[in-house]
Structure 1
Amino acid sequence: MKNVRNQVQIIGRLGRDVELKTTQGDKKLANMNVAVNRYYTNAIGQKVENTDWFRVVAWGKMAENMANILHKGDEVMIQGRLATRSYEDKNKILQYVTEIVAEQFLFITSPKQVVAS
Protein backbone atom coordinates (compact mmCIF):
# COMPACT_ATOMS: atom_id res chain seq x y z
CA MET A 1 0.00 0.00 0.00
CA LYS A 2 1.26 3.42 -0.91
CA ASN A 3 0.76 6.59 1.12
CA VAL A 4 -0.82 4.88 4.10
CA ARG A 5 -1.37 7.46 6.84
CA ASN A 6 -1.99 7.14 10.50
CA GLN A 7 -5.06 9.35 10.72
CA VAL A 8 -8.07 9.42 12.99
CA GLN A 9 -11.04 11.76 13.35
CA ILE A 10 -13.55 11.83 16.19
CA ILE A 11 -16.50 14.00 17.16
CA GLY A 12 -17.46 14.00 20.80
CA ARG A 13 -17.77 15.98 24.02
CA LEU A 14 -15.06 16.93 26.49
CA GLY A 15 -15.37 15.06 29.78
CA ARG A 16 -13.55 17.81 31.69
CA ASP A 17 -11.76 21.09 31.03
CA VAL A 18 -8.56 20.93 28.99
CA GLU A 19 -5.51 20.51 31.24
CA LEU A 20 -2.64 22.74 30.04
CA LYS A 21 0.91 22.06 31.21
CA THR A 22 4.34 23.42 30.41
CA THR A 23 7.07 20.81 29.95
CA GLN A 24 10.62 21.16 31.26
CA GLY A 25 11.61 22.31 27.77
CA ASP A 26 9.01 25.14 27.92
CA LYS A 27 6.66 23.42 25.45
CA LYS A 28 2.91 23.66 26.01
CA LEU A 29 1.03 20.36 26.37
CA ALA A 30 -2.75 19.97 26.55
CA ASN A 31 -4.46 16.82 27.82
CA MET A 32 -8.17 16.09 27.46
CA ASN A 33 -10.64 13.23 27.36
CA VAL A 34 -13.30 13.10 24.66
CA ALA A 35 -16.46 10.97 24.96
CA VAL A 36 -17.85 9.57 21.70
CA ASN A 37 -21.28 7.93 21.78
CA ARG A 38 -22.07 4.99 19.55
CA TYR A 39 -25.36 3.23 19.07
CA TYR A 40 -26.29 -0.29 18.08
CA THR A 41 -29.26 -2.63 18.26
CA ASN A 42 -28.77 -5.65 20.51
CA ALA A 43 -29.94 -9.21 19.88
CA ILE A 44 -33.45 -8.52 21.24
CA GLY A 45 -33.95 -5.39 19.14
CA GLN A 46 -33.28 -2.75 21.79
CA LYS A 47 -31.30 0.36 20.86
CA VAL A 48 -28.19 0.54 23.06
CA GLU A 49 -25.90 3.53 23.59
CA ASN A 50 -22.26 3.04 24.56
CA THR A 51 -19.65 5.70 25.22
CA ASP A 52 -16.02 5.33 24.18
CA TRP A 53 -13.47 7.61 25.85
CA PHE A 54 -10.44 8.84 23.94
CA ARG A 55 -7.38 10.47 25.43
CA VAL A 56 -6.25 13.44 23.32
CA VAL A 57 -3.03 15.45 23.54
CA ALA A 58 -1.98 18.60 21.71
CA TRP A 59 1.27 20.55 21.61
CA GLY A 60 2.39 24.16 21.22
CA LYS A 61 0.05 26.91 20.08
CA MET A 62 -2.73 24.39 19.38
CA ALA A 63 -2.55 23.25 23.01
CA GLU A 64 -2.91 26.86 24.20
CA ASN A 65 -5.81 27.52 21.82
CA MET A 66 -7.64 24.38 22.93
CA ALA A 67 -7.22 25.32 26.60
CA ASN A 68 -8.56 28.84 25.94
CA ILE A 69 -11.53 27.81 23.76
CA LEU A 70 -12.71 24.38 24.92
CA HIS A 71 -14.44 23.51 28.20
CA LYS A 72 -16.13 20.53 29.81
CA GLY A 73 -19.19 19.43 27.82
CA ASP A 74 -18.21 21.21 24.60
CA GLU A 75 -18.66 19.25 21.38
CA VAL A 76 -15.49 19.13 19.32
CA MET A 77 -14.07 17.45 16.24
CA ILE A 78 -10.49 16.27 16.63
CA GLN A 79 -8.34 15.15 13.73
CA GLY A 80 -4.91 13.70 14.34
CA ARG A 81 -2.89 10.54 14.58
CA LEU A 82 -2.76 7.62 17.00
CA ALA A 83 0.38 7.32 19.10
CA THR A 84 1.39 4.76 21.71
CA ARG A 85 3.89 5.53 24.44
CA SER A 86 5.08 3.74 27.53
CA TYR A 87 6.08 4.76 31.04
CA GLU A 88 6.90 3.08 34.35
CA ASP A 89 4.27 3.47 37.05
CA LYS A 90 5.07 3.96 40.74
CA ASN A 91 5.46 0.16 41.13
CA LYS A 92 8.04 0.09 38.29
CA ILE A 93 5.57 -1.72 36.00
CA LEU A 94 5.69 -0.71 32.34
CA GLN A 95 2.37 0.83 31.25
CA TYR A 96 1.27 1.60 27.68
CA VAL A 97 -0.99 4.47 26.66
CA THR A 98 -2.58 4.99 23.25
CA GLU A 99 -3.75 8.52 22.56
CA ILE A 100 -4.77 10.81 19.74
CA VAL A 101 -2.19 13.48 18.98
CA ALA A 102 -4.31 16.38 17.71
CA GLU A 103 -3.30 18.03 14.46
CA GLN A 104 -6.54 20.00 13.95
CA PHE A 105 -9.64 20.72 15.98
CA LEU A 106 -13.00 22.32 15.39
CA PHE A 107 -15.20 23.67 18.17
CA ILE A 108 -18.75 22.60 17.29
CA THR A 109 -21.02 23.69 20.14
CA SER A 110 -21.30 24.19 23.86
CA PRO A 111 -24.13 22.68 25.94
CA LYS A 112 -24.97 26.30 26.86
CA GLN A 113 -25.65 27.05 23.19
CA VAL A 114 -28.15 24.22 22.81
CA VAL A 115 -31.67 25.56 23.18
CA ALA A 116 -34.34 23.19 24.44
CA SER A 117 -37.40 22.99 22.24
Structure 2
Amino acid sequence: MKNTVTLVGYVGNAPQVRETQAGATTTRLSLATSRSFRDSEGNRQTETEWHRITCFNGTGKSVAEHVAKGAMIMVTGRIRYTRWTDQSGTERFGCEIIASQLDFLSRAKEAVAQAPGKRRAG
Protein backbone atom coordinates (compact mmCIF):
# COMPACT_ATOMS: atom_id res chain seq x y z
CA MET A 1 0.00 0.00 0.00
CA LYS A 2 1.11 3.53 -0.68
CA ASN A 3 0.02 6.95 0.58
CA THR A 4 1.48 9.47 -1.87
CA VAL A 5 0.07 12.72 -3.21
CA THR A 6 1.50 15.29 -5.62
CA LEU A 7 -0.03 18.77 -5.79
CA VAL A 8 0.83 21.74 -7.99
CA GLY A 9 -0.63 25.08 -7.00
CA TYR A 10 -0.21 28.58 -5.64
CA VAL A 11 0.89 29.36 -2.08
CA GLY A 12 -1.93 31.15 -0.27
CA ASN A 13 -0.07 32.60 2.73
CA ALA A 14 3.42 33.27 4.00
CA PRO A 15 4.92 30.12 5.55
CA GLN A 16 4.50 29.91 9.33
CA VAL A 17 7.55 28.50 11.10
CA ARG A 18 7.51 26.98 14.57
CA GLU A 19 10.13 25.16 16.58
CA THR A 20 9.13 22.21 18.74
CA GLN A 21 10.44 21.67 22.27
CA ALA A 22 12.68 18.95 20.85
CA GLY A 23 14.28 21.50 18.47
CA ALA A 24 12.63 20.33 15.24
CA THR A 25 11.36 22.94 12.78
CA THR A 26 7.77 22.77 11.53
CA THR A 27 6.67 24.98 8.64
CA ARG A 28 3.03 25.28 7.55
CA LEU A 29 1.44 26.93 4.54
CA SER A 30 -1.72 26.71 2.45
CA LEU A 31 -1.77 25.68 -1.20
CA ALA A 32 -4.54 26.39 -3.73
CA THR A 33 -5.15 23.96 -6.57
CA SER A 34 -7.78 24.58 -9.24
CA ARG A 35 -9.57 22.71 -11.98
CA SER A 36 -11.65 24.12 -14.80
CA PHE A 37 -14.67 22.47 -16.39
CA ARG A 38 -17.83 23.25 -18.30
CA ASP A 39 -21.13 23.00 -16.43
CA SER A 40 -24.33 21.49 -17.85
CA GLU A 41 -25.12 24.83 -19.56
CA GLY A 42 -21.71 25.04 -21.23
CA ASN A 43 -20.35 27.79 -18.98
CA ARG A 44 -16.74 27.53 -17.89
CA GLN A 45 -16.41 27.01 -14.13
CA THR A 46 -13.37 26.84 -11.86
CA GLU A 47 -13.17 24.95 -8.56
CA THR A 48 -10.42 25.81 -6.11
CA GLU A 49 -9.39 23.47 -3.29
CA TRP A 50 -7.24 24.60 -0.35
CA HIS A 51 -4.69 22.21 1.15
CA ARG A 52 -2.78 22.49 4.43
CA ILE A 53 0.89 21.65 3.88
CA THR A 54 3.28 20.77 6.72
CA CYS A 55 7.05 20.55 6.21
CA PHE A 56 9.60 19.40 8.77
CA ASN A 57 13.25 20.25 9.46
CA GLY A 58 15.35 20.80 6.31
CA THR A 59 12.41 20.99 3.91
CA GLY A 60 10.63 23.36 6.28
CA LYS A 61 13.66 25.63 6.60
CA SER A 62 14.06 25.81 2.82
CA VAL A 63 10.36 26.62 2.40
CA ALA A 64 10.54 29.36 5.03
CA GLU A 65 13.53 30.96 3.29
CA HIS A 66 12.42 30.73 -0.35
CA VAL A 67 8.61 30.53 -0.58
CA ALA A 68 6.28 33.52 -0.49
CA LYS A 69 2.57 34.00 -0.98
CA GLY A 70 1.68 33.64 -4.65
CA ALA A 71 4.57 31.34 -5.61
CA MET A 72 3.76 28.26 -7.66
CA ILE A 73 5.14 25.07 -6.10
CA MET A 74 4.86 21.31 -6.48
CA VAL A 75 4.52 19.33 -3.25
CA THR A 76 4.99 15.57 -2.94
CA GLY A 77 4.11 13.92 0.33
CA ARG A 78 1.55 11.88 2.21
CA ILE A 79 -1.97 12.58 3.41
CA ARG A 80 -2.54 12.61 7.17
CA TYR A 81 -6.01 12.75 8.71
CA THR A 82 -6.49 13.96 12.27
CA ARG A 83 -9.36 13.89 14.75
CA TRP A 84 -9.68 15.83 17.99
CA THR A 85 -12.23 17.23 20.40
CA ASP A 86 -12.28 21.01 20.75
CA GLN A 87 -12.82 22.96 23.99
CA SER A 88 -16.61 22.94 23.53
CA GLY A 89 -16.63 19.13 23.23
CA THR A 90 -17.25 19.06 19.46
CA GLU A 91 -15.38 16.38 17.54
CA ARG A 92 -13.33 17.92 14.72
CA PHE A 93 -11.61 16.40 11.73
CA GLY A 94 -8.69 17.65 9.65
CA CYS A 95 -6.52 16.70 6.72
CA GLU A 96 -3.00 17.85 5.89
CA ILE A 97 -0.23 16.96 3.50
CA ILE A 98 3.08 16.05 5.12
CA ALA A 99 5.60 17.19 2.52
CA SER A 100 8.58 15.02 1.69
CA GLN A 101 9.67 17.06 -1.35
CA LEU A 102 8.91 20.54 -2.57
CA ASP A 103 9.86 22.00 -5.95
CA PHE A 104 9.84 25.73 -6.70
CA LEU A 105 8.09 26.35 -10.03
CA SER A 106 8.06 30.15 -9.87
CA ARG A 107 8.91 33.05 -7.66
CA ALA A 108 5.99 34.81 -5.97
CA LYS A 109 6.00 37.86 -8.27
CA GLU A 110 6.07 35.67 -11.39
CA ALA A 111 3.24 33.53 -10.08
CA VAL A 112 0.97 36.46 -9.32
CA ALA A 113 1.60 37.95 -12.77
CA GLN A 114 0.79 34.62 -14.48
CA ALA A 115 -2.16 33.54 -12.33
CA PRO A 116 -5.53 33.36 -14.12
CA GLY A 117 -7.28 36.73 -14.01
CA LYS A 118 -4.08 38.50 -12.96
CA ARG A 119 -2.17 38.62 -16.22
CA ARG A 120 -0.41 41.78 -17.22
CA ALA A 121 -1.76 43.60 -20.23
CA GLY A 122 0.39 43.84 -23.30
CA distance in 2, matches of 1:32, 1:13: 10
Give the superposition deviation at 1:88.
2.8
CA distance in 1, matches of 2:61, 2:108: 22
**Secondary structure in 2 aligned to 1:109?**
coil
Equivalent residues in 2 for 1:26-37 (5 A)?
Answer: 26-37=23-34
Unaligned runs of 5+ in 2: 115-119
Equivalent residues in 2 for 1:1-117 (5 A)?
Answer: 4-113=1-110, 114=113, 116=120, 117=122
CA RMSD of aligned residues (A): 1.5
Contact 2:68–2:108, Cα closer than 8 Å, also in 1 = no
Structure with the higher strand share, 1 or 2 = 1
- For residues 85-117 of structure 1, the C-alpha deviation after alignment (integer angstroms, 9 at most, x for no partner) is 223322233322111100000011124234744
Cα gap change, 1:11 to 1:48, in 2 (>3 Å): same
- TM (norm. structure 2) is 0.86
- Count of aligned residue pairs for this structure pair: 114
In the TM superposition, structure 1's runs of 4+ consecutive aligned residues that sit over 4 Å from their partners are none
Letter matched to residue 30 of structure 2 = N
**Secondary structure in 2 aligned to 1:95?**
strand
- TM (norm. structure 1) is 0.89
Unaligned runs of 5+ in 1: none
